Every structure is written in C-alpha cells, then in structure tokens.
C-alpha cells in the first residue's frame, strides 16, 4: 500500500496556523487525515523549576523538542501504524494530560515551528506550506492568547516575544520559506478568507491523493 501523502505546515507564533489547521481539517473526515503536532513533543521541564525560572525559560529552541521521538512517530504513521502520545498542556500544573491515539490516514499533516529545521522531517514532506502574518498582527494574536488564555502578564509576553519568539522565527523558520510550495499570508480576521484558501488546497489534494 502506498505511503500516506505528508504535508508540512509551518508558521511562527501568531501566524494563525492553528486556525488555518482547524479550517483545513474540516474538509476531511477523520479516516482521511491525521495530524501530528510538534507541541506534543516538548521535553519535560525540570520538576524543581520555579515559576520565575519558567517565565525566563526559552521554549522556542529546537533542543526543547524530543525530535527523535517526533521523527519516529512520523515514521510509524507513514508505515500505517497507530501511535500513542501524551498530550502537552503548556505548563498547566494539576491538570492530567490525555493519552492521544493517532491513527494513520491517507493524508498525514505535520505541523510546528521547527519541522523545516528538522531536516529528517523536512525531507519527507510531499507538500510544504508556510503560514505567515505581519509582525504587528502576529504580536496582537500572541498577546490575546497569552494574556487571556494562559494568564501571563503583559511584561512576560513581551519579554518572550522579543527575546525568544522573534529570534527563533528568524533563525529556525524564516530561512526555509523559499523552499515551501505555498506561502500563505494570514493577516485577515475574516474566517471566510482562510476557509476559501483551505478549500482550494483540499480540492487539489482530493484529486491527487484520495
């Protein structure tokens, strides 16, 4: 049986990648597509890390990701084997993570900041999609998420943005933009704009893969 068609979707913080993925997945049934997210492969932080140390810790570096486990799980799915993965909860103490079971499908989506930097992953991608947004829009989205959903202070968010997020984007993602098959600028706050883009891509995939 042919291996699944593997799509890489890369985008920096605030690019609207999560919303893009939600729209994209709506065009397929669960048995047609599966998703593996880089975020579920963060290495555990030291148990004795203080709250202040956690604020300063740089999660926007490739070595914070267990890329060997990430690569192995992709390999398993490409060979039509199911995988199990512990859900990553973004430093939510007291919350029990779920065990995620991911079943193989004809279309495999791999997403994350470093998927193009991890060359063993990048070299397997059949389609590379780069999601970007203007800096001020990306920062606005990041502030909204971290202030409202994660309870960070404005100073904490800005510190990470200037010292972690932007440098990581420039070093580990932006250099690979030119090798991507599609570059999508996602500055819109109108859902229909992204839905139209994902619909066009899904139609091409259906004709090619399904």
Q: Write out pLDDT tens, residues 59-68.
A: 999 999 999 9
Question: 182 pairs with which residues across the strands?
Answer: 129
Question: How much is the pLDDT for 201?
Answer: 92
Q: Given the structure tokens 């267990």, which residue do they identify?
A: 66
In Å, how far are 41, 89, 112, 152, 206 from 60, measured between CA atoms?
13, 16, 11, 17, 34
d(CA 200, CA 207): 11
pLDDT attached to residue 188: 83
CA distance 170 to 61: 12
pLDDT for position 1? 59
CA–CA distance, 51 with 55 (Å, rounded to integer) = 6
Confidence of residue 90 (pLDDT cuts 50, 70, 90): low
Give CA–CA dist 14/132, Å, rounded: 8
Angle (CA) 41 46 50, round 5°: 120
Tell whether the model's pLDDT for residue 86 goes beyond 80: yes
Lowest mean pLDDT among 24-33, 123-132, 133-142, 143-152: 143-152
For domain 5-208, which architecture applies?
Answer: 3-Layer(aba) Sandwich (3.40)
* 183 bridge partner residues: 130
Question: pLDDT category, 94, cuts 50, 70, 90?
Answer: low
């Amino acid at each position: 049986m042919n291996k699944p068609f593997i799509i890489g979707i890369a985008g920096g913080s605030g690019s609207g990648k999560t919303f893009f993925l939600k729209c994209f997945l709506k065009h397929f049934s669960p048995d047609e597509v599966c998703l593996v997210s880089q975020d579920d492969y963060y290495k555990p932080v030291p148990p004795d890390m203080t709250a202040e140390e956690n604020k300063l810790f740089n999660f926007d570096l490739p070595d914070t990701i267990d890329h060997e486990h990430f690569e192995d799980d992709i390999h398993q799915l490409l060979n039509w084997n199911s995988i199990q993965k512990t859900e990553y909860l973004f430093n939510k103490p007291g919350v029990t993570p779920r065990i995620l079971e991911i079943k193989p499908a004809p279309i495999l989506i791999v997403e994350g900041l470093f998927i193009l930097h991890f060359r063993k992953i990048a070299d397997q991608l059949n389609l590379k999609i780069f999601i970007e947004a203007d800096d001020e829009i990306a920062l606005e989205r990041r502030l909204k998420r971290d202030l409202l959903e994660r309870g960070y202070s404005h100073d904490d968010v800005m510190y990470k943005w200037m010292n972690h997020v932007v440098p990581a984007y420039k070093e580990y993602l932006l250099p690979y933009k030119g090798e991507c098959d599609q570059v999508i600028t996602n500055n819109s706050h109108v859902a229909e704009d992204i839905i139209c883009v994902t619909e066009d891509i899904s139609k091409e995939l259906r004709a090619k893969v399904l």
